[in-house]
A and B are shown apart, each in its own frame.
Chain A
Amino acid sequence: MTSSDPFVVQVSELRKQYPDVTAVNGVSFDIGAGEIFGMVGPNGAGKTTTIECIEGLRQPDAGRVRVLGLDPQADGYALRERIGIQFQTSDLPARIKVGEALDLFASFYRRSVDWRPLLDRMGLGDRANAYLAKLSGGQRQRVFIALALINDPELVFLDELTTGLDPQSRRSMWELVRDVRERGKTVFLTTHYMEEAERLCDRVAIMDHGKIVALDTPERLIAQLNAENRVVLQAERSFDEATLRRLPAVVRVERIGERVIVYGPKEGLLSGVINALEAGEIPFRDLRTEQPNLEDVFLALTGKEMRD
């Protein structure tokens, strides 16, 4: 990539048809150098096909793909020298040790980094002699990230990096991804977790039915949704809901038993609700506010819950 070309990935009008389904139906986007770019979407939305066309592992039917200035189909081997891929479902040969795997994969590239410090960075410095099969899920995932970084790539693909990991491992994986970016690399990740996309990504593309239905920073995606904030509380006795409904900041009120959910725009909602409850001498507990998040954006755009 030259300095005149700020985009690490350029995709325009990408299409891929399978015998019974159009997997990718005219997708266009660019990824800038140093970005953490996320792609989310329900199963079968076309994420994997899109990412595989960019990696050069699948041939598109139509459209133009350039990665680091290269055509992934024509210059596949040159491109693979400069990218790192962590797959969602992929394994290493049975009975291999961690250090052997890194040493082996390092030999495939013209340029590779010393794998020992890399393993240290992944927090696995003492596991070089361990069999891969004996590691925990989180540790294995770190080995796979190390493999994706062994050639000091300019662009790293992380597919469903944290699927199946416990929340703590997931958070430490986020730190690793941020660290990769700090080292000047561009990251393209897919995820099932909206929280992950929201916390980690500079920009997020939401895919559905083979198309990108939204692409922006998480903050702007949420703002564009114009979704209401929510105040959720437990009322300790019954009261007239109109007390809340007539407040200017309140759009609607839902009540299920003791549980009351008040919807409204961000400004004035919380203070309005609390003042009205105090004034009406309505006892309440467990009050909390909920902001709209990427999950809401996703639900609104695709009509599907992302959570499994």
Chain B
Amino acid sequence: MQQLHALGKLIRVQTKLYLREPVAVFFTLLFAPLYLIMNWLIAGNQPLAELGGRGSLEAYLPACAAIVIAVVGLMPGAIETANRREAGVLRRFRATPLRPLTYIIGDVGVYLAMILLGILFVMLLAYFAFGVRSVGNVPSMFAAILLSATSFLAVGYVLASVLPNARAVTVVGNVLLFPMIAFSGATVPLEIMPETVRTIAKFVPLTHVITLLRGAWFGEPWSALLTEVAVLVGLLVVGTVVSALTFRWE
């Protein structure tokens, strides 16, 4: 009971702290909409015959969701955790009866909520500003978002655990994040990319996130998405095990 009470407070306070950081707010709420707007400026929202008459901008929305997952899942939590370890914040938590698991669940819960908030925001923008009306298969989409987001958060925790400090997390995080966005089809559809890029893309986790989200969005059966699910579950399991083994409070 006490731990549940603590968890509720942790999530409330951590959410406030997150939203007080302008850079975090930018990456959560505005980064993916920038891509959406760029896409709209380039291609508009043409109905596409191969998508059953749905607009090209609507087809791009799952990629926007994937961008939110990548930018919020991978770095902010990892940087904050490394910062807190360096500054002795985690040590202060450790000196109380707060259980480590409660703290970590709270942390993951906050970042998941922020990812959902960011995705909701870009969808609302698409709805109100660009007239995208279809919302896809909501339960499938939700499940796909949860799986992708927890996988990326697990990788973020690995960065926070194995790297020595917040600076290193920032550098490695950026080195992973931006090429990953470029090579995943999150910006330009992979179909029009050269063969080499498409080969590289197969090894980029974000590509699988986009494929999974797009499949869920357009109501493909999960049986058609087993590769993506396997890759992301694998990432989640390996990430969780590695960070559990290497996590340090101090």
Contact = CB atoms under 8 A, between A and B. Distances in A.
Contact of A93 (B8, B89, B94, B99): B89
A105 B96 contact: yes
Contacts of B16: 100
Interface in A75-97: 77, 80-81, 85, 87, 89-96
A93 B97 CA distance: 18
Which one of A103, A107, A147, A151 has the greatest number of beta carbons of chain B within 10 Å? A107
A284 interface: no
B59 interface: no
B6 interface: yes
Contacts of B9: 103-104, 107
Contacts of B88: 87, 89-91
Contacts of A223: none
A77 B17 contact: no
B84 interface: yes
A147 B96 CA distance: 10
A174 interface: no
Contact of B13 (A89, A96, A110): A96
Interface in B153-172: none
Contacts of B83: 94
Given A100-B13, A107-B6, A108-B6, A90 B92 contact: yes
Contacts of A85: 92, 95
B248 interface: no
A80 B96 contact: yes
Nearest to A90: B88
A92 B92 contact: yes
B30 interface: no
Contacts of A151: 96
Q: How large is the interface on A (under 10, 10 to 19, 20 to 34, 35 or more residues)?
A: 20 to 34
Interface string B89-116: 1011111111100000000000000000
B97 A87 contact: no
A91 B10 contact: no
A214 interface: no
A93 B17 contact: yes
Nearest to A76: B97
Contacts of B14: 93
B21 A95 contact: yes
A154 interface: no
A96 B17 contact: yes
A77 B97 contact: yes
B89 A108 contact: no
A108 B13 contact: no
B84 A93 contact: yes
A108 B98 contact: yes
Residue among A90, A105, A108, A109 having the largest count of chain B Cβ atoms under 10 Å: A108
B170 to A, nearest CB: 15
A184 B58 CA distance: 67
A55 interface: yes
B17 A104 contact: no
A55 B13 CA distance: 27
A241 B91 CA distance: 59
A96 B9 CA distance: 13
B85 to A, nearest CB: 11
A57 interface: yes
Contacts of B95: 55, 57, 80, 85, 87
B91 A95 contact: no
Nearest to B16: A100
B79 to A, nearest CB: 11
B223 interface: no
B87 interface: yes
A204 to B, nearest CB: 24
B89 A92 contact: yes
Contacts of A96: 13, 17
Nearest to B103: A108
A161 to B, nearest CB: 15
Nearest to A147: B92
Given A104-B10, A108-B6, A80 B97 contact: yes
Contacts of B17: 93-96
Nearest to B88: A90
Interface string B13-24: 110110011000
A294 B181 CA distance: 64
A110 B84 contact: no
In the A-B complex, the 6 residue pairs with the smallest Cβ-Cβ separation, listed nearest first, are A90-B88, A107-B9, A91-B87, A108-B96, A95-B20, A85-B95
16 contacts: A57-B95, A80-B97, A81-B97, A87-B88, A87-B92, A91-B88, A91-B92, A93-B89, A95-B20, A96-B13, A105-B96, A107-B6, A107-B9, A108-B98, A109-B97, A110-B2
Given A87-B95, A94-B21, 19 more contacts: A57-B91, A87-B91, A87-B92, A90-B87, A90-B89, A91-B88, A92-B92, A93-B13, A93-B14, A94-B80, A100-B13, A103-B9, A103-B13, A104-B9, A107-B5, A107-B6, A108-B93, A109-B2, A147-B92
